[in-house]
Amino acid sequence: MTSSMSSSVLLSLFLFISLLHLSSAARKLTQNDQQLKFQYHKGPLLTGKISINLVWYGKFNPSQRAIISDFITSISSPTIKPQPSVATWWKLTDKYYHLANSQNLVLTTGSHILDENYSFGKSLTNDQIIKLASKGSQTNAINVVLTSADVVVDGFCSSRCGTHGSSVDHKFAYVWVGNSETQCPGQCAWPFHQPIYGPQSPPLVAPNNDVGLDGMVINVASLLAGVVTNPFGNGYYQGPKEAPLEAASACTGEFGKGAYPGYAGNLLVDPTSGASYNANGVNGRKYLLPALFDPTTSVCSTLV
């Protein structure tokens, strides 16, 4: 596997100050009826049966791995009750496929690959992320690389919370997300941690009682939406190809209706734990998932 990437797309959960700018700009556009215009650049989308394989790099305990794996399983579990569910949230991505006259996508839960001995050390480059991603299936797959809290990755925290891209021959797509709990929770685990910049409001209680992993779920969700609608850099996005706004990153900082900079929006609250969430998953899980841009209405769509 050659260590190059054809279309590395950075997650637009930048520093919180950037989040404020994007959210404010998006709202001003809406107020002026100058809606966001997504363009389909005629490239292929991921279609057919695609497995999501998880590559765990570093130390994750079983309960942490279960938080992410249950989320992945929940995407393809439409019978989850009560609503709203993770599958309901994911259903919005079908609209992109319909508009592109593309065959639909069916996601399945794939394999788990553990690298607990830090085979590349604790400081990773982009090329090493792709090498880790290549440990998963290289056909009909999205390989999700998850790095533990003690692993440093180029650009992590300073400019990004994660990345998505594809192998040089487009045989598989990949996502990378890091655990930001100790490195930059105010940037990549908001709203479960006090933000570094902008309006200061109390952090929300994480639905799975793990600030780092619940933050990772938000970023994994954002990047999965981006990788299926813009897998090779020529799908759906707005703005420059090098720093595009995609299905979730166009709605940065919005989780519920009424969201504004520093406020995630009106959310559901678990009466027992006090945790904030907007989606139900398998095994009684609750998650907080980002708003997705609706290409048919040109607005950000939230579950609650």
Residue 286 located in a structural domain: yes
Residue 250 located in a structural domain: yes
Residue 93 located in a structural domain: yes
DSSP string, 202-248: PPPBPTTS-HHHHHHHHHHHHHHHHHHHSTTSSSEEBS-TTS-B-TT
Residue 138 has pLDDT above 50, yes or no: yes
Quote the mean pLDDT of the chain: 89
Residue 227 located in a structural domain: yes
pLDDT digits (tens, 9 = 90+) for 185-244: 999 999 999 888 777 789 999 999 999 999 999 999 999 999 999 999 999 999 998 899
Q: How many domains does the chain have?
A: 1
Residue 163 located in a structural domain: yes
| Alpha carbon distance 152, 55 (integer Å) | 16
| pTM confidence score | 0.90
The H or E element that residue 9 is part of is: strand 9-10
Residue 169 located in a structural domain: yes
Residue 77 located in a structural domain: yes
The H or E element that residue 111 is part of is: strand 105-115
Range of the domain at 127: 42-301
Residue 9 located in a structural domain: no
Residue 35 pLDDT class (50, 70, 90 cuts):
low
pLDDT digits (tens, 9 = 90+) for 264-279: 999 999 999 999 999 9
Residue 168 pLDDT class (50, 70, 90 cuts):
confident
Residue 183, phi then psi, degrees to nearest 5: -90, -45
